[in-house]
Structure 1
Amino acid sequence: MMKLKLSILLSFICSSLVFSQDNPTNTTPANPEKKTLTALKIDQNVTIDGKLDEPFWNTAEKATDFIMFQPDNGKPELPEEKTIVRIAYDNEGIYVGAEMYQAKENLLKEITQRDNFGTSDHFGVFLNGYNDGQQDFRLIVSAAGTQMDCIATQETGEDYSWDAVWHSEVKQTDFGWIVEMKIPYAAIRFSSKDKQVWGLNLFREVRYKKQKYAWNKIDTNIGNILQQAGILNGIENIKPPIRLFFIPYASGYVNHNDEGTETTFKGGMDIKYGINDSFTLDAILVPDFGQTTFDNKILNLGPFEQQLNENRGFFTEGTDLFNKGSLFYSRRIGSEPSGDVTLGENEEVEKMPTTIDLLNALKISGRTSKGLGIGVLNAVTKETKATVVNTETGDRRSVVVEPLANYNVLVFDQRFRKNSSISFVNTNVMRDGSFKDANVSAVLFDLNTKANTYKLSGNFKYNHINDIEDKNGFNTNIYFAKTFGKYRFNGGANYVSKDYDINDLGINFTNNYHNTFANFSYRILNPTKLFNSFYLNANTSLEWQNDTGLVQNAWFSGSMNASNKRNDDFGIGIDLNPIITYDFYQPRTTGRYVYRPKSVGSYIYYSSNYNNPFAIDFNPYFYVYEQDKRNSYGFNLSPRYRFSDKFFLTYGLNIARDNDDKGYVDNTETDIIFANRNVTTIENSVGGKYGINSRMTFNLKVRYYWSYSEIKNYLTLLENGYYEPNTEYKENNNDNFKSWNYDLSYVWWFAPGSQVSVLYRNNATHYEQRLNKNIIDNLAHTLQNDLNHTFSVSVKYFIDYNKAKNWL
């Protein structure tokens, strides 16, 4: 068996190498000479108004001759759509003035919320204060004046949850439009050297043609875009001011439901302190997440928890370092209590908390001039208790279901050769008393050739759980990839031990397996007569359970994605599971498994050009299984209409149907019970926006989710993983789950970093085992089931110490 597995892995690698030979596009790309721009030192006040009327703008060096990188890579910009950019600096920050030439009738400028690109033209500045080709601070402005900012790395892509405080204004002119920006040094990171040399690229999107340009040429033949920046010189002997910022907030909530009306007020503060030029401390005191976006809860019939998005700003902003190794799942902090309640005679749980309050949190992150990144994140949650009542005597007692707990993440990330890194990550959870503690450590490496043509990466992760019975486990991975040219490939292997468990501060669903995987892809680098872009992709994976040697995953997938000359996107894909595999998680019992039949599925998608006022997305799919009458099908349909640059609405309909699905139901004293069932899901959503200006918007988000499972007959799981009919089991295990959410908000960024937010929210969640297949009746029943209404107002104000000290 081991020889077979090794031969499969070797065949993947050998076929990959053969596939890439004798192709003229696979020659190693040359490293083109980088463009340079010198920033102008100034000592005068600058008004950020989009006019560029200060005299120094006329003398500053120009960055010109932008080059297209999508879709027609390498094509120069047209003279009538040229771009001219100048950069200056003082001790407070850098200043950017950009002129974009374009016919007025072709300029698109939809007003959106921050970090939402919408249908607009854009200009951006990509800065790397260490010039190490590994992390950009990207600050972008739309033609409507909306700001977008992100941290970009090769490993994680663009992270738009990061928000900086900077200034920008735009103006439309006779020749096109202008952007003027001030980027305080506090918004970015750089070394403490007297003479600064930064990585710089400048970005422009000409939206009506869906063309993207860069000042320093980006060769899409090379996978690493961050390595292809130009150079910003001239910044010398700067003395940045103290980086100390206070963001106090106050909020009020009125909550009404069937139990009555409750009014609460909260206040607190975020603090940001620049320890030095490179490192920053972020602290949150008395946090308030009451206006956080709602979770899209679902009917979860599988063996694993639903993974939820993080919507709390503190845990999303600037956390790229802490995501190294995928060991940190921030929703663990403040999630449901981990402890159980032991009930005595005639006792029942009267009140069980669903969340844990966060007492405080802080993070320190930055990078030295030698490329060493250091990150520390710490959070403390309070002791949480459930209330138990004796139904005969009425006596009540409290039970600790989550003790005082400390969560910690520590990261060291050493970059070298401008495109490689070695990292150490540690996560630790310490709980008061007899509750379990957990510690996870990992070593990771990411090595790239000098020309960014090949990659070798891997990791080793080790966990220790201190509980009633201690557990130690590990996970190791090796990965190799060709990262340039039209033809690319990658492959690797993974081994995960039986006791690998990172779920106290991370999230991991499966363990006790080993696998091999490979990917092959082809793309065009320039448009053809039919396509602006065209991409073929093929993936395959084989996975074996460690104890039994049984195959628990074996699949192949292929896809084609393209964009036509009208800028409509479309694609098709196929998923193939060609052999019987075995699922060791559905039975919810150690050592037991259930077989999964062979299957084949396919999908298509179509997304029309969003530049048009009306656009539509459509994505149907189906799967067929080699088992009884089992199949799955469904579709996503989402039309959208842009009434004007201010007003926009979109509707989403998601319908899914699983026929003769085989799923776990119960575990009796003698048997594991499965069911043959039909599962239907219908999800409706509406999103809307009305933008008064680039800093003030009304936003609508509505979601009604309904899913039900109807039992056809029961089955007993046999020792060999197959089933036999069960006519003795009589419990009703039908499921009927509904979730309703309605958010209407008003957001006003009245100053950089300062915001007023007004939110009206109503929501309800209802679960029952009574089936009713009428969608309107179910909605009415849900809204009548203790609908919760919340009205809240929150104000936060950004205070710069350097200005505040003058107030005194």
Structure 2
Amino acid sequence: MKKLVFLSILLSSFWSFSQKKILQAQSTAEPITIDGNLDEAAWNNAPIATNFVMFEPDNGKPITENKKTEIKVLYNNDAIYIGAMMYDDEPNKILKEISQRDNFGTADIFGVFVNGFNDGQQNFEFFVSAADVQGDCIMTDAVGEDYSWDAVWLSKAKIIDKGWVVEIKLPYAALRFSSENKQTWGINFFREVKRERKKYTWTLIDTKIGTFTQQNGELAGIENIKPPTRLFFLPYASYYLNAADGQKTYGTMKGGMDIKYGINDAFTLDAILIPDFGQTKYDDQILNLSPFEQQFNENRAFFTEGTDLFNKGKMFYSRRIGGSPSIDPDLNDNEEIIENVQNVSLINALKISGRTKNGLGIGVLNAVTEKTFATIKDTISNETRRVVVEPLTNYNVLVLDQRFRKNSSVTFINTNVTRNGNYRDANVTGLAWDLNTKANTYSLFGNAKYSHINSEEDKNGLFTTIGFAETSGKYRYSIGSDFVTKDYDPNDLGINFYTNYYNFYGNANYRILNPTKLFNTLRVNYNMYAEFNKESGKVQDNSFNANINLTTVKNNYFGMGITFYPVEINDYYEPRADNRYVIIPRKFESWASISTNYNKKFAIDLNPSIAILDEPGRMSYAVEVGPRYRFSDKFLLTYYFTFFRKNNNKGYIDNVDGDNNESTPDNIVFANRNVITYSNTLGGKYALNSTMTLNLSVRQYWSYAENKDILQLEQNGTLTPYPEYTDNKNSSFYSWNADLSYSWWFAPGSQVSILYRNNADNFERIIDKQFKDNVKALLNNDALKHVFSISVKYFIDYNAVKNKFRKRA
């Protein structure tokens, strides 16, 4: 009898988890006020979505009765409305840190995931925290959650004696759906109890399956609604006051507009008219001793919002648009550059993106930058001339992404850069595929990319990769290989550092899918990698790595790993010359990471690491320490300190032939050097309420490389003493950035931003090792720049304006 009861319960559980849940939306003609009270009569008769199950950490476990969650959905001709009651037997313990939009901090969260086409391809996700802070994103299995996407919608959260309540209005203009009379949407609801670090969903999201968006439930009952005209205007006005020591203070006014237009129910056009990126976050520059450029994050909203399509195939690096000039001017004897620009100005940009109901995603991005000059002066005659460092340039990206069976895709990508006149043009075309079995257990992925450079000497290159992986269960693995030719060059609109090689790699890993007595999560990884120069066959890289990452039942994170390079490798990049390489000794690396529970007022991150090379005295070590303290739900301070030291590092410093761009120089100069880096970062947040925040960000950075011995690179990759070289090639770079900002979302989609910032940086060959003197000199010199700015942007919805005029008429 007991066995029959157990079997009945098991079958019932299986049935409830395997069947797709359906919720009926209730039509209403009654006005709904978004105040968090749920006191309108229409809420009383609406069907209820309940019986949540755990997403993490104990996947599939039913929610407890004292955390019962009930959701109702209403709709009318303008929007859908979600009313959520999150019961909690200890409402005084609900975490409710106030944070900025899209950053919930330490707070309970409620979310709704909507897929208007119910095709398992893309969710529009809307979140509200217990502190009444909004967040939204687009979710795809390929990219994950993209919080750069912002919609305009209304919400209100309130903590009551039974738990907390959320009321949401999602205008149809914030969603995507077909024009059919009867709608069936994919939907899921989410709840996180932050103090317990437990996440729940209405419909089970089975973590054994390698997909998220295909496990929604369904929202039925929506009838006779029409997709509205999606036309939004975002005009802005800004004022900048600039000052620097020894320079004239001046102010500037700017104004412009962004436009968003829904071409149809699936596709949207975004356009920038007269861009303004003056309040964009500064780049965290470093002393870059490597042969490659420093890669920066994209901080401009237009190039981050909803760009998942454009990132397919990893061919698009948006910082190329409006980046540094591409042409270095030729200087005659006795000439010097007296005026140049760091970044080329953007004239305008637009993008069109969306996906049809048959799964075809289409993305088009176009941007134009202006013709840019540098001023050159003859130091003898004092005559000046202007030369072009960047012609009028057009950037274009085209993406066609066909999804099928809800979990697989084949993608065509093309990037093109056309410069006006007889300057370098570039075109890169790629085909990428991500093929998954119907049960999401195995994946075959890869791409093939071809680049063509049209310049004085045309270049054509190829990059291909192929991989296979098991993507479900406790034990998973992957294998793959890349092949890259010497002339593959996507860098006019992409970024790629390594060419002329082929490799083989593999990974095997184990993870727990449900908590144990000790761990909430646990994952063990083993990785191997081997890389060979395509022409010589020499080993460029060879490593074996093992690491473990876990979270305890008290929600503290621990990780550690070791990497072993068992043979000497041949670095073909550090010499900065064709067919030259330097031998790197065998190496052992190890790291560890600790991050304590952020739910506590005080938490700390600690990340030590060490690397030892098979050469006397050659090693490196680093430590990163990041304490944080939450004084209240409004006030948070974070601090991060980094120290990194390389002893007896061998690196390139010069080419004595005089032209660092020569392909086969005779004498390549290296240095045996110590490299030391200090970095201090202070962050602070004070929230006046859920729509107003004050933020502080300060970063001090100093890194120097002190050369001890000068070395010459031999043809066989070894280094020998080179006492004839006497130039000072020491390097010292230090910088300072400070931002103090006030942000107020005074209306839906509308914001006032007030910012004060100062920054300075300096590079020297003479190293002053007194830390205090370096910082003091940086803050007191003429390079320190001050900027005060005010920016106001206002969101205008065409539908709202139209309805107001109708009512007046």
Q: Is 1:702 equivalent to 2:689 in the alignment? A: no
Deviation digits for residues 443-465 of structure 1, max 9, x if unmatched? 11111111111111111111111
The 2-side partners of 1:245 and 1:767 are apart by 45
The 2-side partners of 1:195 and 1:577 are apart by 61
Note the 1:43-192 alignment, pairs <5 A. Answer: 43-102=29-88, 103-192=90-179
User: Paired residue for 1:502, among 485, 490, 495?
Assistant: 490
Report the AA paired with residue 472 of structure 2.
F
Distance 1:345 1:665, change over 3 A: closer
Give 1:423's aligned residue. 411
Note the 1:459-474 alignment, pairs <5 A. Answer: 459-474=447-462
Per-residue deviation, 1:293: 0.8
CA contact (8 A) 2:433 2:446 kept: yes
The 2-side partners of 1:613 and 1:179 are apart by 26
Note the 1:72-471 alignment, pairs <5 A. Answer: 72-102=58-88, 103-258=90-245, 259-471=247-459
CA contact (8 A) 2:17 2:204 kept: no
CA contact (8 A) 2:179 2:227 kept: no
Give 2:743's aligned residue. 747
Report the AA paired with residue 56 of structure 1.
A
SS at match of 1:196: strand
Report the AA paired with residue 459 of structure 2.
K
Deviation digits for residues 410-438 of structure 1, max 9, x if unmatched? 11111111111111111110000111111
SS at match of 1:476: strand
CA contact (8 A) 2:23 2:220 kept: yes
SS at match of 2:302: helix
Per-residue deviation, 1:31: 8.7
CA contact (8 A) 1:191 1:368 kept: no
Per-residue deviation, 1:105: 2.0
Report the AA paired with residue 204 of structure 2.
K
More divergent stretch after superposition (265-274 vs 188-197): 188-197
The 2-side partners of 1:749 and 1:304 are apart by 40
Give 1:605's aligned residue. 593
CA contact (8 A) 1:92 1:240 kept: no
The 2-side partners of 1:76 and 1:752 are apart by 36
The 2-side partners of 1:759 and 1:697 are apart by 12
SS at match of 2:92: helix
Report the AA paired with residue 164 of structure 1.
A
SS at match of 1:63: coil
Give 1:37's aligned residue. 23
CA contact (8 A) 1:463 1:501 kept: yes
CA contact (8 A) 1:31 1:451 kept: no
The 1-side partners of 2:670 and 2:175 are apart by 55
Give 1:792's aligned residue. 789
SS at match of 2:249: strand
Give 2:546's aligned residue. 558
The 1-side partners of 2:384 and 2:648 are apart by 46
The 1-side partners of 2:114 and 2:325 are apart by 42
Q: Is 1:736 equivalent to 2:726 in the alignment? A: no
More divergent stretch after superposition (642-651 vs 446-455): 446-455
- Structure 1, gaps ≥5 residues long: 1-28
CA contact (8 A) 1:383 1:404 kept: yes
SS at match of 2:311: helix
The 2-side partners of 1:596 and 1:235 are apart by 65
TM-score computed with the length of structure 2 as normaliser: 0.95
Deviation digits for residues 270-299 of structure 1, max 9, x if unmatched? 001111111111001000000001111000
The 1-side partners of 2:330 and 2:550 are apart by 57
Q: Is 1:713 equivalent to 2:701 in the alignment? A: no
Per-residue deviation, 1:805: 3.2
CA contact (8 A) 2:179 2:226 kept: no
CA contact (8 A) 2:757 2:786 kept: yes
The 1-side partners of 2:803 and 2:26 are apart by 28
SS at match of 1:58: helix
Per-residue deviation, 1:130: 2.3
SS at match of 1:260: coil
The 2-side partners of 1:799 and 1:421 are apart by 36
More divergent stretch after superposition (754-763 vs 484-493): 484-493
Deviation digits for residues 21-46 of structure 1, max 9, x if unmatched? xxxxxxxx999221111212223322
SS at match of 1:780: helix
The 1-side partners of 2:802 and 2:122 are apart by 33
Deviation digits for residues 667-722 of structure 1, max 9, x if unmatched? 11241000000000000000000001111000000000100101010110010111
Deviation digits for residues 738-796 of structure 1, max 9, x if unmatched? 01000000000001110000000000011101111111111011112321000000000
Report the AA paired with residue 484 of structure 1.
S
More divergent stretch after superposition (227-236 vs 30-39): 30-39
CA contact (8 A) 1:91 1:241 kept: no
Per-residue deviation, 1:129: 2.0
- Structure 2, gaps ≥5 residues long: 1-14, 658-665
Report the AA paired with residue 690 of structure 1.
Y
SS at match of 2:223: coil
CA contact (8 A) 1:127 1:137 kept: yes
CA contact (8 A) 1:66 1:216 kept: yes
CA contact (8 A) 2:98 2:104 kept: no
Deviation digits for residues 331-374 of structure 1, max 9, x if unmatched? 00000000121122332111011110000000111111111111
Deviation digits for residues 458-494 of structure 1, max 9, x if unmatched? 1111111111111111111111111111101111111
The Cα RMSD (Å) is 1.3
Q: Is 1:667 equivalent to 2:663 in the alignment? A: no
The 1-side partners of 2:311 and 2:267 are apart by 18
Deviation digits for residues 554-589 of structure 1, max 9, x if unmatched? 111111111112111111111111111111110000
Deviation digits for residues 467-524 of structure 1, max 9, x if unmatched? 1111111111111111111101111111111111100000000111111111111111
CA contact (8 A) 2:693 2:744 kept: yes
The 2-side partners of 1:47 and 1:789 are apart by 45
More divergent stretch after superposition (557-566 vs 688-697): 557-566
Report the AA paired with residue 95 of structure 1.
Y
The 1-side partners of 2:502 and 2:177 are apart by 42
CA contact (8 A) 1:189 1:366 kept: no
More divergent stretch after superposition (490-499 vs 292-301): 490-499
User: Paired residue for 2:799, among 792, 802, 805?
Assistant: 802
Per-residue deviation, 1:267: 0.1
TM-score computed with the length of structure 1 as normaliser: 0.95
Report the AA paired with residue 499 of structure 1.
D
Note the 1:761-800 alignment, pairs <5 A. Answer: 761-785=757-781, 786-800=783-797
Deviation digits for residues 138-174 of structure 1, max 9, x if unmatched? 1111100111111111221111111111111111111
CA contact (8 A) 2:177 2:227 kept: no
SS at match of 1:412: strand
CA contact (8 A) 1:445 1:457 kept: yes
The 2-side partners of 1:376 and 1:44 are apart by 42
The 1-side partners of 2:403 and 2:19 are apart by 23
More divergent stretch after superposition (138-147 vs 36-45): 36-45
CA contact (8 A) 2:178 2:227 kept: no
SS at match of 2:504: strand
The 2-side partners of 1:105 and 1:395 are apart by 74
Give 2:12's aligned residue. none
